Amino acid sequence: MIYETTGWIGTILIVVAYFLVSNDLVSSSGLMYQIMNVLGALFMGISVFKKTAWASFGLQIVWFVIGTIAIAKIIF
C-alpha cells in the first residue's frame, strides 16, 4: 500500500508540474518545476522498483538525473 501511494504522489507531482509549466504558471527553468520533477521521479522510482517494472525504473532514473543537474545549474 505504501509503495502504491508513493507512486501516486510521484505521478501527481509530475502531472501538476507539467500543467503549471504548460499554462505559464511556472518557468520550465525555475527551481519549483525542477524540484517537483525530481521528487516525482524519486517517488515513482520507489514504486516501480518495488514492482520490478525495470523500464519504468530506468526512465525515473534518467528523469531524476536530468532534474538534479538542472537544479544544480540553477543553484550554482
Spatial distance between the Cα atoms of 21 and 31, rounded to a whole number of angstroms: 12
Taking the CB of residue 5, how many other CB atoms lie within 10 A of it? 11
User: Which residue bears the cell 521521479?
Assistant: 41
Percent of the chain with pLDDT over 70: 100
pLDDT of amino acid 10: 97
What is the residue range of 24's domain?
A: 2-75
Output DSSP code: residue 30: S
| pTM summary value | 0.93
pLDDT of amino acid 25: 97
- 19-33 pLDDT tens trace: 999 999 999 999 999
- pLDDT band at 69; cut points 50, 70, 90: very high
Count the domains in the chain: 1
Cβ-in-10-Å burial (0-12, 13-18, 19+) of 37 comes to: buried
Residues in contact with 10: Cβ distance below 8 Å, sequence separation at least 6, in sequence order: 39, 40, 41, 42, 43, 44, 45, 46, 47, 60
